[in-house]
Amino acid sequence: MFQAAAWLISQFYELTSNHIFSISLVALVIMMLIFPLTLKSTKSMLEMQRVQPEMRRLQQQYRNDRQKLNEEMMKLYQEHKVNPLASCLPLLAQMPIFIIMFRVLHGLTNKDANGLIDPDYISKSSKLFESLSGEKEMLSFGLDLSLTPVKAIQDNAATGVIYALLVAALMGLYFLQQRMIASRTVSPTMSATQQKVMQYLPVFFGVFQLFFPVALVFYYIAQTLVRIAQQSYITRRFYRGDESLGKQAQAASAKAREMAEKDGGGTGLFSQLKQDAARSKEQPKSSPKSTPNKRVTPPKSGSTPGKGKPTPPNRPKPSAGKSRHPKPPRP
């Protein structure tokens, strides 16, 4: 897989003779391959939102019967042909791609003990290998793509600012992308604070790019630009018109949110925990098991002495065959 990704970069370098262009074209190809999964997951997510009021009703109706609730939820999914796991497909596909591109771009800028680039994963006869082998820098538009922004600032603060600005641009693109998604999403289970956190969370991911080679930063910039264009297409496709799937999902999510606020006084994570705790208290408690009284057998030497009472003398045990209370003699 690493060789395949490096080969793709090498082929685009044959066409462009530019490292930034070749890396950006790879990002474009990958995003176009994932885009059908993105469309499928978006449609599945909207269909899930559309049945949120019905799901909320079932949760209230069977809140004390978890098994029955699961059965009814499965029937609801089958009736509306909804797959709750379909929205995870793009994320599952992008995780291995992230690891592969991270390793490949690190490998292309790999340096030996003398500080010279010794590329990995590509053929030694390729044009990309010849342009990098034995060089100290991976230059493109005057930028060394093998440097990390932190290292660039440490070497030269004046030129290092340019590398830092690239990371800042990436964080701005992340924020714009999340703003587009948040503007059309009404979550019935997330509070306003949680939605803000989710909106800014990818921005903090950009901070880690300060410690990655700039080649990887350019890859993410190109990838995010393509994703913004794809999100714009998704908005036009699923949210155009009042009868569109997106508009129906928004209305259903708003209704489910109102139902949640009426039932439990909130929709956030802490409100859900409070509701679960309240439901557990409402469930009838099982009657405590009656514990049998345990008689304490007095020791053989005598009964247990009480406070301030003398110990009674030991009584002789009745012999075998004789009654403890002898009968009075006959007259």
Residue 110 · residue 117 · CB < 8 Å: yes
Tell me the β-bridge partners of 140: 143
Tell me the β-bridge partners of 143: 140
Q: Of how many residues is the chain composed?
A: 331
CA 255 distance to own-chain centroid: 26
- Sign of the C-alpha dihedral computed for residues 236, 239, 243 and 246 taken in this order: positive
Q: What is the pLDDT of residue 80?
A: 82
d(CA 151, CA 140): 17
Q: What is the pLDDT of residue 179?
A: 85
Question: Could you give phi then psi for residue 144, rounded to 5 degrees?
Answer: -90, 105
Tell me the β-bridge partners of 228: none
pLDDT tens, position by position, 134-155: 898 899 999 999 999 999 999 9
Residue 186 · residue 257 · CB < 8 Å: yes
d(CA 88, CA 95): 11
DSSP 297: P
pTM summary value = 0.73
Task: Dump the DSSP string for 48-96.
Answer: HHHTHHHHHHHHHHTTT-HHHHHHHHHHHHHHHT--TTGGGHHHHHHHH
Residue 160 · residue 152 · CB < 8 Å: yes
Cα angle, residue 11 at apex, residues 7 and 17 outer, rounded to 5°: 125
List the chain pLDDT tens, one digit each, 331 residues: 788 889 999 999 999 999 999 999 999 999 999 999 889 888 888 888 888 888 888 888 888 888 888 888 888 888 888 887 776 777 777 788 888 988 998 888 888 888 888 898 988 889 999 999 889 889 999 999 999 999 999 999 888 999 999 999 999 998 898 888 877 766 555 566 766 777 677 777 778 888 989 999 999 999 999 999 999 999 999 988 888 888 888 888 888 877 777 765 444 444 445 555 555 555 554 444 545 555 555 555 544 454 445 555 555 555 554 545 555 555 4
The kind and range of the H/E element at 315 are none
Q: What is the pLDDT of residue 205?
A: 79
Q: What is the pLDDT of residue 269?
A: 41
Residue 218 · residue 148 · CB < 8 Å: no
Please tell me whether residue 139 adopts helix, strand or coil conformation.
strand
DSSP 185: -
